[in-house]
C-alpha cells in the first residue's frame, strides 16, 4: 500500500533538510512526499528543490501566486496532489523515526476499520515542562482505551493528538472535512474532532520526534486570556454544530445495552429470593 506524506513548509530552512532525510530513511519505501511551500522568504524552496531533483518520490509544490496562504490552504493543496489512499503528516521541523510509516501501515492493515492512526512521540530541542506535563497526561489517558475506538466524547474535552506529525488518516474522509477553524493554530484539533466518531487506533510507541522551539508555528500567534476564552467558547459551539448529530447517535448507541436491560426488566422480573416471577402484569410463585 502506497502512502502520501504531506509536509507544509514555511521558513524553516534550518530544519527542512533533516525532515526530508528522515522520510528517505524510512524502512517502508513505497511513499511519496508532497511538500507544499507556503510563501517562504528564506532558502527553504531552494533546499527542497535540491532534494526533489535527486529523489522522484519527493514532489514539490507552491501556491499558484507563490504567496503565503496559511496552513489550512497549504494542506488542502497537498491533499489535492496526494495519490495514495492514506495520508501521513510531517511538519517541516519534525522528524520521523525509521519505522514510523511501516508501523502505521501495519496498524491500518491489521485494523481496517480504523479511519485514523496516531502514535506516541518524543520531544527534542528546547526544554518545555508544559509540553512534557501535557504529554504525560495524554499517555495516562490513552491507556484507558481499547483501540480501535471512537474518541468523540474525549475530543469534546481536549485534543488528544498533540501534533500533525503523529497522524496517518484516510484521505477520502479528510477531504470531506471543513478546514476553517476559528483560530488557525487549532486546525489539527478541528479536523480530528470531525472524524472522531470513526474508530481511531493508537500505536503506543514514540515514532515521531517533535521539535520544541520558540519559533514553532504554535508560538507565532498568541492570544490574550480574554480572547482565548472567547475563541474557545466559539470553537466549542462550532464543534457542536458540526458533529452534533454523530455525537448524539454515538451517545445513544453507548446507552443501548442499558436500555435493553431496562426493557427486559419491564417485561419480566425474576426474584429467586422471594420465589416469584412477574411477566408483564402477571405474577407466578413457586
Domains of the chain: 3-221 (3.90.550.10)
CA distance 29 to 23: 9
The residue that leads in pLDDT, 6 or 256, is 6
The total number of residues written for the chain in this structure: 286
Burial of 195 (0-12, 13-18, 19+ CB in 10 A): buried
Q: What is the mean pLDDT of residues 251-280?
A: 54
pLDDT recorded at residue 174: 97
Phi–psi pair at 270, nearest 5 degrees: -115, 125
Q: Please write the tens of the pLDDT for every residue from 92-110.
A: 999 999 999 999 999 999 9
Q: What is the mean pLDDT of residues 43-49?
A: 98
Q: What is the mean pLDDT of residues 51-73?
A: 97
Average pLDDT of the chain is 86
Percent of the chain topping pLDDT 70: 75
pLDDT recorded at residue 31: 98
Q: Which residues contact 67 (CB under 8 A, 6 or more apart)?
A: 39
pLDDT recorded at residue 181: 83
| DSSP H/E element including 204 | strand 200-212
**Reported pTM:** 0.81
Q: Please write the tens of the pLDDT for every residue from 117-138.
A: 999 999 999 988 989 999 999 9
The residue that leads in pLDDT, 257 or 81, is 81
CA distance 161 to 63: 28
Phi–psi pair at 161, nearest 5 degrees: -120, 105
CA distance 48 to 148: 36
The torsion angle over the Cα atoms of residues 193, 195, 201 and 204, rounded to 10 degrees, is -30
The torsion angle over the Cα atoms of residues 153, 149, 179 and 244, rounded to 10 degrees, is -40
CA distance 116 to 195: 8
CA distance 216 to 71: 13
Q: Which region among 19-28, 85-94, 209-218, 241-250 has the lowest average model confidence (pLDDT)?
A: 241-250
Residue 42 has pLDDT above 80, yes or no: yes
Residue 227 has pLDDT above 60, yes or no: no
CA distance 112 to 90: 23
**What is the maximal distance between C-alpha atoms in the chain?**
89
Q: Are 62 and 173 in contact (CB under 8 A)?
A: no
**Hey, how many other C-beta atoms are within 10 angstroms of the C-beta on 12?**
24
Residue 161: pLDDT band with limits 50, 70, 90: very high
pLDDT recorded at residue 127: 87
Q: Which residues contact 178 (CB under 8 A, 6 or more apart)?
A: 190, 194, 242
CA atoms in the 13 A half-sphere facing the CB of 69: 19
Cell 534550518, residue located: 14
Amino acid at each position: 500500500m502506497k502512502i502520501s506524506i504531506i509536509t507544509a513548509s514555511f521558513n524553516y530552512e534550518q530544519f527542512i533538510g533533516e525532515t526530508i532525510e528522515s522520510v528517505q530513511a524510512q524502512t517502508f519505501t513505497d511513499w511519496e512526499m508532497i511538500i507544499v511551500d507556503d510563501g517562504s522568504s528564506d532558502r527553504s524552496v531552494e533546499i527542497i528543490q535540491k532534494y526533489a531533483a535527486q529523489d522522484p518520490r519527493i514532489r514539490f509544490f507552491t501556491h499558484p501566486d507563490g504567496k503565503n496562504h496559511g496552513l489550512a490552504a497549504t494542506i488542502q493543496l497537498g491533499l489535492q496532489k496526494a495519490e495514495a489512499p492514506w495520508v501521513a503528516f510531517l511538519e517541516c521541523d519534525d522528524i520521523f523515526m525509521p519505522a514510523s510509516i511501516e508501523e502505521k501501515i501495519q496498524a491500518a492493515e491489521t485494523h481496517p476499520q480504523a479511519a485514523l492512526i496516531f502514535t506516541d512521540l518524543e520531544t527534542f530541542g528546547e526544554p518545555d515542562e508544559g509540553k512534557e506535563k501535557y504529554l504525560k497526561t495524554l499517555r495516562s489517558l490513552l491507556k484507558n482505551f481499547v483501540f480501535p475506538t471512537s474518541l468523540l466524547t474525549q475530543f469534546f474535552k481536549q485534543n488528544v493528538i498533540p501534533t500533525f506529525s503523529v497522524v496517518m488518516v484516510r484521505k477520502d474522509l479528510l477531504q470531506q472535512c471543513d478546514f476553517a477553524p476559528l483560530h488557525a493554530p487549532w486546525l489539527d484539533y478541528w479536523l480530528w474532532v470531525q472524524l472522531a466518531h470513526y474508530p481511531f487506533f493508537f500505536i503506543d510507541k514514540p515514532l515521531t520526534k517533535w521539535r520544541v522551539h520558540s519559533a514553532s508555528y504554535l508560538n507565532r500567534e498568541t492570544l490574550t486570556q480574554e480572547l482565548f476564552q472567547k475563541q474557545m467558547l466559539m470553537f466549542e459551539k462550532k464543534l457542536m454544530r458540526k458533529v452534533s448529530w454523530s455525537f448524539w447517535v454515538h451517545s445513544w448507541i453507548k446507552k443501548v445495552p442499558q436500555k435493553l436491560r431496562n426493557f427486559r426488566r419491564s417485561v419480566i422480573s425474576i426474584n429467586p429470593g422471594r420465589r416469584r416471577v412477574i411477566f408483564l402484569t402477571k405474577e407466578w410463585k413457586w
